[in-house]
Amino acid sequence: MRTYLECVPCIIEQTIKTARDLTQDWEKKEILVQKVLETLSNISYNQSPPYLGREAHRVIRKILDNPDPYLKMKKEFNRVGKELFPSLQKRANHSKDRFADAVKLAIAGNIIDFGPQHHFELMRTIDKVLLAKAAIDHTGSLRDDIESASTILYLGDNAGETFFDKILIEKMPPKEIYYGVRGSPVINDATSEDAYWAELDKVTKIISNGSDAPGTILEDCSGEFKDIFARSDLVIAKGHGNYETLNEIKGKKFYFLLMVKCETIAKDVGCSVGDFVVKKIQNAVQP
């Protein structure tokens, strides 16, 4: 997906939020915003939003002189995910349609970055999602495609959400499953460390994509990751960033599991803000 004009102020707002959260130094905040503006003024919006995000967050890390500004937040999300995990498992195991509810739980996990919430609130939101209907629902087809696949690549999104992904992966039949994560810290996105913390190595092979983009920019990924991507029968991709970087890739079968958080994505996907979505996309390879 290309960058829509509306994505630009959104990335700048993220920058400002980071500036506010991570430094008290007014001059540093101002330089941070100015440098991000300068950076975003030099990139073609034919690139995807995570491409712009990658550049912006490189600037942020450099100016804050901090290789992982969101580390504390990620630790908190990991802690919350770990604490919730047993009750999530219980829900998934006491369900009429365990697979469909596990898909919903995986998507519900995407709300973990909606700011600090009490467990009680988080659980209430999860309950709501379990009762709601997906705006676009290709869960049946996903189930069939998992059944017939040999190799599956599951692309994670945020730290802590990893535990919700594990719920879904545990409901899949035994296959060769790779759990893809970002190659190095960017925002609160899950890296290998977060995936191991959720013990995803017990149910998948954890694979770093080698990139610091908040999405999956294939040209940016390691050879090893690209090989696994190429030979996977199926890619399950979580969250906005993965959708924005992969939705136009040709010749691959994708299932995008999304909580729709902004108008731009809603328009692109064809639904409303607040919807959740299980959307299959398989673009034809042009001859």
From the list 1, 21, 22, 44, which residue makes contact with a second copy (rule: CB under 8 A)?
44
Stretch of 5-13, 80-88, 107-115, 163-171 lying at the interface with a second copy (CB under 8 A) = 5-13
From the list 1, 22, 40, 235, which residue makes contact with a second copy (rule: CB under 8 A)?
40
CB of 59 to a second copy, least distance (A): 11
11-30 residues in contact with a second copy (CB under 8 A) are 12-13, 16, 19-20, 29-30
Q: For residue 37, give the nearest of 18, 16, 51 by alpha carbon.
A: 16
Return the SS3 of 270. Answer: coil
Contacting residues for 125 by C-beta, under 8 A, at least 6 apart: 108, 111, 117
Task: Provide the greatest CA pair distance for the chain.
Answer: 57
Q: Does residue 236 touch a second copy according to CB under 8 A?
A: no
CB of 135 to a second copy, least distance (A): 26
DSSP structural state of residue 180: E
Comparison of 41 and 148: residue with beta carbon closer to a second copy? 41
Contact of 171 with 98, CB cutoff 8 Å: yes
Comparison of 40 and 195: residue with beta carbon closer to a second copy? 40
Q: Does residue 253 touch a second copy according to CB under 8 A?
A: no
From the list 21, 23, 25, 37, which residue makes contact with a second copy (rule: CB under 8 A)?
37
- Residue 126, exposed/middle/buried by CB under 10 A (0-12, 13-18, 19+)? buried
